[in-house]
Amino acid sequence: MQAPTADELLREPAVQEALEQAWIDSLADDPLRRHEEGGWVYLNTTTGSIGIRRAPVGGQAFLDLSSPPILPDAVVVATFHTHPNPSAEGWESGPSTADTQSAWGFGVPCIIRADDGIHTTGPNSRRGGLTGGRGYPP
Ligand SMILES: [Zn+2]
């Protein structure tokens, strides 16, 4: 079993559903309440199935993904979050510098859902494959 690439994960129904649910929960149409949502994508190394865990709610342009929950028989293979602020108003829809830096630091692909679609940054797949512990890779 290999660590899935960002493109492979984007074809997974569980990942697509998680991105859309996070987008809905971000309240992008509400200027006062819109905020980032997101979480982590896991691969169960026994069954090969994809799992999702959501992070605590974020701020208007912030979400803390530094501490993924540790799940039995599963490793973190990506993070995901939303950019709910409108690109038409000048907000960056794609990865921020902090998104790219944290993705390389965490060692897994970063998937972003924005109003103009889906963006990715960071490594193409989990650094070092599926070894190295169940949270982020070493
Ligand atoms: Zn971001």
Return per-residue pLDDT of the chain as tens, 138 residues. Answer: 899 999 999 999 999 999 999 999 999 999 999 999 999 999 999 999 999 999 999 999 999 999 999 999 999 999 999 999 999 999 999 999 999 999 999 999 999 999 999 999 999 999 999 998 899 999
Q: How far is the CA of 39 from the centre of ligand 1 (A)?
A: 12
Ligand 1 is an ion; residues with CB less than 5 A from it: 96, 99
Q: How far is the CA of 127 from the centre of ligand 1 (A)?
A: 20
Q: How far is the CA of 110 from the centre of ligand 1 (A)?
A: 9
CA angle 116, 66, 36 (to 5 degrees): 30
Q: How far is the CA of 83 from the centre of ligand 1 (A)?
A: 6
Q: Nearest CA to 75 among 13, 117, 22, 127?
A: 127
For 63-88, how does the pLDDT look when each residue is reduced to its tens digit (9 = 90+)?
A: 999 999 999 999 999 999 999 999 99
